[in-house]
Structure 1
Amino acid sequence: MNALHQYLFDTYRADRLGEPMPPAPGTHDVAVLRSVRDRRRFERVMAGRPVRGGLRTALRRLLQPRARRPPGGSRE
């Protein structure tokens, strides 16, 4: 059974019992994604990290070639 079948069963049951209709599948998806985004921003602020640029920084770190260190592990 998928989400549409469950929705149809719930709608039928609500109609028979005189209860309010349930929301259609996917109705609140955007609100959920926004709340997840806001929560992550809040956690970044509380951790003292910048709110914007996290994805861009991570992608840059993955895509840029790393600088090679000289042999022996000495840093300049």
Structure 2
Amino acid sequence: MNVTQQYLLDTYRAAQHGTPYPPAPGGPSTPSLRPLLRALPRRWARATPPGRSGPTPPSSSQSSRST
């Protein structure tokens, strides 16, 4: 379910229950969150110890078992 579908479902439920509608996706909070979201990858990169590139996914040779 994407953001638009969730918003439409929440709006429908609010109409059925007589409660206020939820805020539209991409509303006033988006511009204030954008700098934070841009800074997160840089913070993660600084948190990685020297000599490591961060978490690595498991290799395919470990996940396939030959019997």
Normalised TM-score (structure 1): 0.42
Q: Choose between structure 1 and 2 for higher RCO, CA contacts under 8 A separated by at least 6 residues.
A: 2
Larger Rg: 1
